[in-house]
């Protein structure tokens, strides 16, 4: 799940930071922080006026990924419960 979260976070950060008017260098520096997930910081290459937007992009990308991973985990739990119900045999009730 962790590798999936990293990939999803990188993709969501690309989407979210694409809405900010950043130079290619600043955008690249922001994307280099993606491997830190929610602990990512806005790099110094991002202008101070755009730093709050960069911080918001990081936070929203993390929330997007958390939501997706939560849904996948819930789906897997339901599939596991369904399989357990289908596979398990009822206990015999002999006196």
What pLDDT is attached to residue 89?
Answer: 75
Query: Which portions of the chain are predicted below pLDDT 70?
Result: 91-95
pLDDT, one tens digit per residue, over 64-78 is 999 999 999 999 999
What pLDDT is attached to residue 38?
Answer: 79
Distance CA 52, CA 30 (A): 13
What tokens were used for 67? 């939501």
* CB contact set of 12 (below 8 Å; sequence gap of 6+): 60, 61, 64, 65
DSSP 8-state secondary structure symbol assigned to residue 44:
T
What pLDDT is attached to residue 94?
Answer: 65
What pLDDT is attached to residue 48?
Answer: 93
pTM to 2 decimal places: 0.81
């Amino acid at each position: 799940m962790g590798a999936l979260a990293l990939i999803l976070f990188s993709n969501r950060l690309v989407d979210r930071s694409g809405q900010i008017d950043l130079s290619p260098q600043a955008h690249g520096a922001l994307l280099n922080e993606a491997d830190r997930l929610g602990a990512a910081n806005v790099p110094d290459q991002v202008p101070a006026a755009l730093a709050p937007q960069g911080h918001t992009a990081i936070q929203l990308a993390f929330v997007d990924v958390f939501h997706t991973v939560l849904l996948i985990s819930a789906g897997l739990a339901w599939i596991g419960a369904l399989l357990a119900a289908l596979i398990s045999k009822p206990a015999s009730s002999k006196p």
